[in-house]
Amino acid sequence: MDKNLFIGREYEIRQLEKYRDSKESEFVIVYGRRRVGKTFLVKEFFDDTYDFKVTGLYKKPKKTQLKNFYLALLEYGADVKKVPTDWLEAFAELKKLLKSIKVKRKKIVFIDELPWLDTRQSDFLAAFESFWNGWGAQQNDIMMVVCGSATTWITKKILSDKGGLFNRAARRIYLMPFTLQETERYLVSRGIHWSRYDIVECYMTMGGIPYYLKLLDNGLSYLANIDAVFFKRKGPLWDEFDHLYETLFGTSKGYLKIIEALATKKSGLTRKEIINVTQIEDNGLLTEMLKNLSDSQFIRAYNTFGYNEKNVAYQLADYFTLFYLRFMKGKQNPDEHFWTHFLDNPAKRNWAGQTFEQVCKDHISQIKRAIGISAMLTDISSWQGSSASGKAQIDLVIDRRDRTTNICEIKFSVSEFVIDKDYEENLRKKMQVFREATHSRKALQLVLITTFGVRQSIHSGIVQSQVKMDDLFANEAI
């Protein structure tokens, strides 16, 4: 394993090393959003060398899956004469293969895209449970690693299962997208040396998804890269959206209704508002869809300051999805240089302002560090409300345990942000409305989060703390 290949996966590598070197058999689940690098992590960690490996086939029937499993058994030296007729027989052959292997280390079994093997009425999961619970877990030299992009299947069928695999899958590795700091390191490793402003804009189009970032060309500018990846006809991400949701959620119509509704309002929608917009019935299916989207990190369940969990708002949290719905959906013959030509368009500035708020919410630990409260317990929320003084909306509220509340304004600009007289009055009014409406007795401190900071003026003194774009690139403690 060449650790230089890994960026932002130091913790996950340490976990894999610990499970590999333990004195008992281990069942390890590596899961997360599609394209986040799960297979790459496992492949590079084990130098693509296993005692058995198989990859589930997308939307293929049980018969085809079993034949694929049979061919994998043959590839790894199993003495199997025919294609297994069912999964119990298939795992019995895998057991025979592993028992025949004599090595002074753990035997590594890697099943990639595990959820795709669980076809309808295949009894795959029951056979898998029988194999692991009845034999694998009783050994001391097996490391079973499974991957899957279908986070909802893994959560429902394994992590939340109260039956055979409950508490057997204690080794969970959830792979997160890159942070801004990790994205910068990854781009530099590929010979891409952009300004942090360009890196933030790039992050706002595709997030910290390694597969997407790998598509970038170090010979092109940021603008030219976005045109090439997104807007060039039949480019790399031309049809990614439909494929992404179909492979994750199967029948995706209801999911897409929710996603498209959330894309219309930056502050998010409550469950009741989602029902009103989408006309989806208020039942268990809606609850499941919201949970699945949240588990897969496509949406964020976000509390409103001063309210309980019943008032949670859901926000669209996937950068690629937001970018696609805003600029690509329905455009059959777009300008192949759309992003370059769109450079100073008001619609782009509106998108950038909205999406920069999302970037900040994904880098809360960096914001807390910048204002000097890294170790302090906090509650993170947003807020909108009204009082006798008027209406107000606050992008980000950091409620602290030291009887202080940070009221955070988030502004994306191409240079230092200028606070004029009108904006200063607006900020004062916002603080007043918040205090009146919430009846908060805590000290309120105004934090301005910007790209390049606040220009000093007679009106800038209202800001008590600043967080700049560079602060968001700070490394997280591992």
Tell me how many degrees the CA angle 34-39-42 measures, rounded to the nearest 5.
140
The predicted model gives 302-314 an average pLDDT of: 74
Per-residue pLDDT tens over the stretch 406-417: 999 999 999 999
Cα dihedral sign, 184-190-195-198: negative
Alpha helices in 395-448 (DSSP H): 421-438
- As a residue count, the chain comes to 478
Higher pLDDT, 266 or 308: 266
CATH architecture of the domain formed by 3-175: 3-Layer(aba) Sandwich (3.40)
Q: How many CA atoms lie within 13 A of 338 on its CB side?
A: 19
> Token pair 């606050």 is at which residue?
394
For residue 478, name the pLDDT band (cuts at 50, 70, 90). Answer: very low
The pLDDT value given to residue 446 = 97
**Identity at 144, one-letter amino acid code:** M
DSSP state of 81: -
- Is the sign of the CA dihedral 292, 293, 297, 301 positive or negative? negative
Please check whether the two domains, 241-327 and 364-473, share a CATH topology. Answer: no
Residue 152 backbone phi and psi in degrees, to 5 = -65, -40
| CA dihedral of 145, 147, 153, 159, whole degrees rounded to 10 | 40
Q: Is the pLDDT of residue 3 over 60?
A: no
Instruction: Give Cα separations from 330 to 218, 255, 278, 326 (angstroms).
Output: 30, 18, 19, 10
Give the Å distances, CA to CA, from 74 to 5, 83, 86, 114, 208: 31, 10, 17, 19, 38
Of 358, 354, 299, which Cα lies nearest the Cα of 327?
354
Stated as kind and residue range, the H or E segment containing 395 is: strand 390-400
CA 423, 470, 339 angle in degrees (round to 5)? Answer: 80
- Alpha helices (H) along 279-345: 284-295, 319-327, 338-341
pLDDT for 124:
95
Tell whether the torsion through CA atoms of 185, 188, 192 and 195 is positive or negative: positive
Mean pLDDT for the stretch of residues 262-285:
91
Q: Is the pLDDT of residue 107 over 70?
A: yes
Burial class for 440, CB neighbours closer than 10 Å (0-12, 13-18, 19+)? middle
Q: How confident is the model at residue 70 (pLDDT cuts 50, 70, 90)?
A: very high
CA gap 102, 451 in Å, rounded: 58
Residue 152 has pLDDT above 80, yes or no: no
Choose between 282 and 4: higher pLDDT. Answer: 282
Q: Is the pLDDT of residue 1 over 60?
A: no
* pLDDT class of 5 with cuts at 50, 70, 90: low
Residue 163: is its pLDDT beyond 90? Answer: no
Cβ–Cβ contacts within 10 Å for residue 218, how many?
Answer: 12
pLDDT band at 167 (very low <50, low <70, confident <90, very high): low
Tokens of 233: 């006809």
- Domain residue ranges of the chain, discontinuous segments joined by +: 3-175, 180-233+333-358, 241-327, 364-473
Domain 241-327 has CATH 1.10.10.10: yes
Alpha-carbon distance 237 to 324, whole Å?
A: 10
- The yes-or-no verdict on residue 263 having pLDDT over 80 is yes
- Counts for the chain of helices (H) and strands (E), in that order: 20, 13
Question: Sign of the C-alpha dihedral, residues 182, 186, 187, 188?
Answer: positive
pLDDT at position 171 is: 87
Measure the CA–CA gap between 4 and 209, rounded to whole angstroms. Answer: 18
pLDDT tens-digit profile of 224-246?
A: 999 999 999 888 998 899 888 88
Domain 364-473 class in CATH: alpha beta
The two tokens of residue 231 are: 């807007």
The pLDDT tens digits for 170-199 are 688 999 999 999 999 999 999 999 999 999
* Structure confidence at residue 159 (pLDDT): 77
Lowest mean pLDDT among 157-166, 283-292, 320-329: 157-166
Instruction: Note the pLDDT of residue 196.
Output: 98
Average pLDDT, the chain: 91
pLDDT value at position 308? 58
